[in-house]
Amino acid sequence: MELKLVYRALRKISDWTVTGYYSEIDVQGVENVPEDGPLIIASTHHNEIIDIATLAMTIPQRRHLSFWAKSTMFANPLAGAILSSSGAIPVKRNPNGSSPPAPPTQDPSSSTCVPRAPPGIDEGATRAMLFRDTSRALAARQVVGVFPEGTSYTQAAIMQMLPGAAWAAVEYVRYVHEQEVDRQREDVGKGKGKAVEAEIETGLRIIPVAVVYTDKSRYLSRVSVKYGAPIFIDSYAAELFNGDRNESSRAVVKKIMAQVETQMRDMTVNALGWDTICAVSMARSILWDDEDKIPLKDWVEISQRLVRVFDAPEEPSQHLKSTLTKYYALLHYAHIRHSVLLELLPLSAASVLDVPPPHSVPGVSLLVLPTLTLLKRLPLSLFQFVLFAPPLLLHLPGYITGPLAKRCFALPEEEEAAAQFKAIGGGLGIGANVALALGILWKRNRIGTLMGLSEDDNVVQRALGLAGSMYLGIVLLVRWHRLLIRGTPTHGKPFFLLKPSPATYSQLPNSTAAVDVLQTFLCAGVSPRIG
């Protein structure tokens, strides 16, 4: 077994990054991933490098996960050694360098490139060369990660499905078949028997994976990872070797990708437009007071059911979607969440029946009640701030460097870039702060270490004491910070007066009931202020 030290280091960084940036990671379908054997992971791709980090840290049995990289990146010996140690698999864009092929569907680094052969070159041979190193990796019982969408998308839907994963599987079956035929021919040459084409049993599986973020760019949002049912490639082996090689390969690839796409769509949220996504987000907040109260295992089913409500052509659904989208926009530009608004201005039972006319001047209670709520919570907030000061000293650089990295490097229109730059930038800021503290403790304050109290001036003891005390201190401060930043109670639950909050997706109202409930809430306190 290869050490792959770079991969192990990157995976540990992924652990820290993902668990530090997101508050909860729920993994389902662990039983679908075998402990050993060749495997292709076909994953959704909505959050750039964070997707790779999430897959690396959540894959069952901590199996090594390899992704494709351009073969030219391996030309430099040092870069090649680092890439190999990280588990990268070289892929040739043009296996026949002298004759440029037609443009591929995607760049090889996108994990879905399948170039067409130049005139006069066998298409099957071209594909075999393209996937040669991938087939060798699978033959070594490794795991190959592929993003069938080709690139990371902002849209909350499966935008396209490119066939790279299926072609890799098909070429691996042919690779194993050719290896077996060659072995049997060798045996015949040595007089050991008669060559017979054996049935191919590669053990290869493709497992579709859905990585779904409740809000991929928001700090301390949540992640759901679901490993789907395995697609057994051996069931297509017989079909691959019937008739024309290229035609049979295309037919099998089409069938495999149909299965992959079906599973990926079933495991993700797919909406027709941004207005639907905004309306769904607002509906979740209203039905649960706060989206974070929804169990992650039910998140996709709940969201997709609401998508079907708002994508329905009926007028009530469309009107409700428009109203919720406006409410979402108001909260977004006011930089406030629905749960916070409910804390400041809870609805009473009487407000459901006493609805002011649209565009009316807000009553005195609308101004007094938020003020009283703030004053009531002020002592507790001050006490929480005092408790928050120690972990804030550790995390303060991260709060500065994270948003700064996002502003400098992420494009405003690419939401998926925000998380990776905030997470990495924040981690670097906190890491620099820890390094600074280590240096100060080592140089100036030996008493600050556990071993510093002894008279022994042993450097090893000092180093171990410093490392141990810093590790325990950092773990304590990180957990302290997480507890306080997530521990603000939400006392106001006015929506319970209108309808019990559902605990699972099975209790979510049907389309008609959901429309009625949400309209009742909007009439009670939101709609008059939307206009």
Half-sphere exposure of 435 (CA within 13 A, CB side): 7
Cα(first)–Cα(last) distance of the chain, in Å?
65
Domain positions in the chain are 5-266, 274-346+492-529, 383-486
* Cα–Cα distance, 56 to 11 (Å, whole number): 6
Q: How confident is the model at residue 100 (pLDDT cuts 50, 70, 90)?
A: very low
427: pLDDT strictly greater than 70: yes
Mean of the per-residue pLDDT values for the chain? 79
Q: Indicate the CATH number of 5-266 among 1.20.1070, 3.30.2320, 3.40.1130, 1.10.20.
A: 3.40.1130
Q: How confident is the model at residue 495 (pLDDT cuts 50, 70, 90)?
A: very low
What's the pTM value of the predicted model, to 2 decimals?
A: 0.80
421: pLDDT strictly greater than 50: yes
Query: Is 394 within 8 Å of 431 (Cβ atoms)?
Result: no
| Helix ranges (DSSP H) in 100-203 | 123-130, 132-139, 164-189
- Confidence (pLDDT) at 475: 84
**Pairing outcome for strands 222-227 and 205-213:** antiparallel
Percent of the chain with pLDDT over 90: 38
- Confidence (pLDDT) at 510: 46
Please calculate the CA angle 500-506-507 and round it to the nearest 5 degrees.
Answer: 10
Q: pLDDT of 1-60, one tens digit each?
A: 567 889 999 999 999 999 989 999 999 999 999 999 999 999 999 998 999 999 999 999
Query: Is 29 within 8 Å of 131 (Cβ atoms)?
Result: no
Closest of 261, 279, 263 to residue 271, by C-alpha: 279
Higher pLDDT, 355 or 280: 280
